[in-house]
A and B are shown apart, each in its own frame.
Chain A
């Protein structure tokens, strides 16, 4: 506890800064760091930037929103993964454990199926994630069992696969030339279409959910003990579990609605954060947010520059995440054995 967390948090911060610099400067349209600073200073002071209009457009309208969204989505998924891993006392849990991603996926493909607008699709994805988790929670609580956490996880798995079947059905019925590619693209995760208007509906829920989790940081430490122990220590676990699930689901749903399904970030990043700063949520949440943001910035930069076409984010995170996770299992599993 008293061991300084500063080095670990500094490393996490450095990862985010490196990710931001990389993401802003690398791309089809070359942008210098000086240009980015010039534009930010100009916007802050209200004067006209000393830049070509095309460059200003790239930084402010195209790359900027995408960079901010990547940092927010990465941070959100990592924070939600951290919260769920603690709550379920299981380091193999990811943010979609209670069906948030599968619910959002079904909402989004239904929106695409009915040819709705972009924001209607995002709203449906967001609502789908929330409804799925509420359903899982209600069903899980209705089953009276000795181990409420285990029942909740199993209910999440079952409902998740039911929602997956729903996604499959909608894809099967969809127009294979127009709708199916859009669905596939969304299900694999992308920030290619992110604009300034996407940032507010992303930032609001992510900030709110993260604030709740940060406020409950010490109670979350205690809740990583067995349920009866946490209750004997004076923690009202039933109420707090709902608050933590709600906060983490809000954060997850907002990021899935913006970027589609991006796996692995919420599973892998909390582990790296834990090895950097230890298991105390007071440091773990900020460290995971910084690392998650930096990680997804690097992934998204790769996604838009590696190949002539955009590579879906979910595929890249899986390619990076799988070997990394195996290495993690082999080398640092003792930190949570």
Chain B
């Protein structure tokens, strides 16, 4: 199954944000979406999630247009991890994760014991089972991001789409989330995430999609796309490349 957008023009009712975008995500692979602020990353993400209708072109999931899915069916296939945020009401972390089970019940149902078991497994997978009874409003930003990841996993989707999953996290938690993204892809899920840090793409992604001013700058395997020249032109700023020849790895430094 493939999640793909063909010839997309994206934007809101009053303005167009991006044009002629072709993007595809297969199961088991990680795609990183990179680009400067205001370039259309979040808009493209929401279009691929089916939360925003494309102004032209089509998003397809498998052999059907995404728009033809009922919201419940769509939610069983694609999960969304928003930037970690606070909540208005003090639901427990377990309740937040259980909300990922919503699409597996009907309009009037409550989560069942089986749903609870799925939620508990998701909490354990991310090592936050001990937070289950804590109010979501009282845990740290990193813990919230993990709780939202657990919620997406509890949705039992085929694809997970993450909006800047590392934005509000400390250094340690950034690495942790990157590792979890790799693990999700290894377990067969297709993962798409946006990031401001090319090194996160190097760490976790198989492919990268570079977006600037609503147009695709480059797209392809990480090794081929993420180089100094490409990043300099993408961000319109100098970039330095650091290479560790012994480990065969490299990283980028801004400035």
Chain A interface residues (CB < 8 Å from chain B): 1-3, 86, 89-91, 144, 146, 215-219, 221-222, 224-226, 228-229, 231-236, 274, 278-280, 282, 334-337
Which residues of the other chain, B, contact A215 by a CB distance below 8 angstroms? Answer: 107-108
Which residues of the other chain, B, contact A228 by a CB distance below 8 angstroms? Answer: 46, 51, 80, 82
Tell whether, in the assembled complex, residue A89 and residue B88 are in contact, meaning their CB atoms are under 8 Å apart: yes
List CB contacts (< 8 Å) of B70-90 with chain A: 70-76, 78-80, 82, 85-90
Does B103 touch A at the CB level, under 8 Å?
A: yes
Number of interface residues of B (CB under 8 A): 42
Which residues of the other chain, B, contact A278 by a CB distance below 8 angstroms? Answer: 90-92
Measured CA separation A238–B51 after assembly (Å)? 12
Measured CA separation A336–B88 after assembly (Å)? 5
6 smallest CB-CB distances across A and B, nearest first, come from: A234-B75, A234-B103, A232-B80, A279-B89, A234-B72, A89-B88
By beta carbon, the residue of chain B nearest A146 is B12
Residue pairs across A and B with CB atoms within 8 Å: the count is 99
Subset of 13 A-B contacts with CB under 8 Å: A3-B92, A3-B133, A90-B88, A215-B107, A221-B91, A221-B95, A222-B102, A224-B88, A229-B80, A232-B79, A233-B75, A233-B99, A336-B88
Measured CA separation A252–B88 after assembly (Å)? 24
Does B39 touch A at the CB level, under 8 Å?
A: no
By beta carbon, the residue of chain B nearest A275 is B90
Tell whether, in the assembled complex, residue B88 and residue A274 are in contact, meaning their CB atoms are under 8 Å apart: no
Tell whether, in the assembled complex, residue B13 and residue A86 are in contact, meaning their CB atoms are under 8 Å apart: no
Which residues of the other chain, B, contact A89 by a CB distance below 8 angstroms? Answer: 88-89
Measured CA separation A221–B98 after assembly (Å)? 10
Tell whether, in the assembled complex, residue B90 and residue A2 are in contact, meaning their CB atoms are under 8 Å apart: no
Does B110 touch A at the CB level, under 8 Å?
A: yes
Measured CA separation A215–B107 after assembly (Å)? 8
Which residues of the other chain, B, contact A274 by a CB distance below 8 angstroms? Answer: 89
Tell whether, in the assembled complex, residue B107 and residue A216 are in contact, meaning their CB atoms are under 8 Å apart: yes
Which residues of the other chain, B, contact A219 by a CB distance below 8 angstroms? Answer: 102, 107
Which residues of the other chain, B, contact A2 by a CB distance below 8 angstroms? Answer: 94, 133
Measured CA separation A23–B202 after assembly (Å)? 71
Contact with A along B52-83 (1 / 0, CB 8 A): 00000000000000000011111110111010
Tell whether, in the assembled complex, residue B92 and residue A1 are in contact, meaning their CB atoms are under 8 Å apart: yes
Does B137 touch A at the CB level, under 8 Å?
A: yes
**Further pairs besides A144-B14, A233-B103, A336-B90: 17, Cβ < 8 Å:** A1-B95, A89-B89, A216-B108, A218-B102, A221-B91, A221-B99, A226-B82, A232-B75, A232-B80, A234-B72, A234-B73, A274-B89, A278-B90, A278-B91, A279-B91, A280-B95, A334-B90
Does B111 touch A at the CB level, under 8 Å?
A: yes
Which residues of the other chain, B, contact A221 by a CB distance below 8 angstroms? Answer: 91, 95, 99
Which residues of the other chain, B, contact A232 by a CB distance below 8 angstroms? Answer: 49, 51, 75, 78-80
Which of these, B14, B49, B98, contacts A1 with CB under 8 Å? B98
Which of these, B85, B87, B88, B102, contacts A233 with CB under 8 Å? B102
Does B105 touch A at the CB level, under 8 Å?
A: yes
Which residues of the other chain, B, contact A1 by a CB distance below 8 angstroms? Answer: 92, 94-95, 98
Measured CA separation A232–B73 after assembly (Å)? 10
> Among the interface residues A2, A89, A233, A337, which one has the most CB atoms of the partner chain B within 10 A?
A233
Which of these, B46, B51, B91, B155, contacts A280 with CB under 8 Å? B91
Tell whether, in the assembled complex, residue B92 and residue A224 are in contact, meaning their CB atoms are under 8 Å apart: no
Which residues of the other chain, B, contact A146 by a CB distance below 8 angstroms? Answer: 12
Which residues of the other chain, A, contact B137 by a CB distance below 8 angstroms? Answer: 334-337
> Among the interface residues B12, B49, B51, B88, which one has the most CB atoms of the partner chain A within 10 A?
B88
Does B100 touch A at the CB level, under 8 Å?
A: yes
Tell whether, in the assembled complex, residue A218 and residue B49 are in contact, meaning their CB atoms are under 8 Å apart: no
By beta carbon, the residue of chain B nearest A284 is B89
Does B245 touch A at the CB level, under 8 Å?
A: no
By beta carbon, the residue of chain A nearest B75 is A234
By beta carbon, the residue of chain B nearest A88 is B88
Measured CA separation A279–B105 after assembly (Å)? 20
Measured CA separation A203–B159 after assembly (Å)? 47
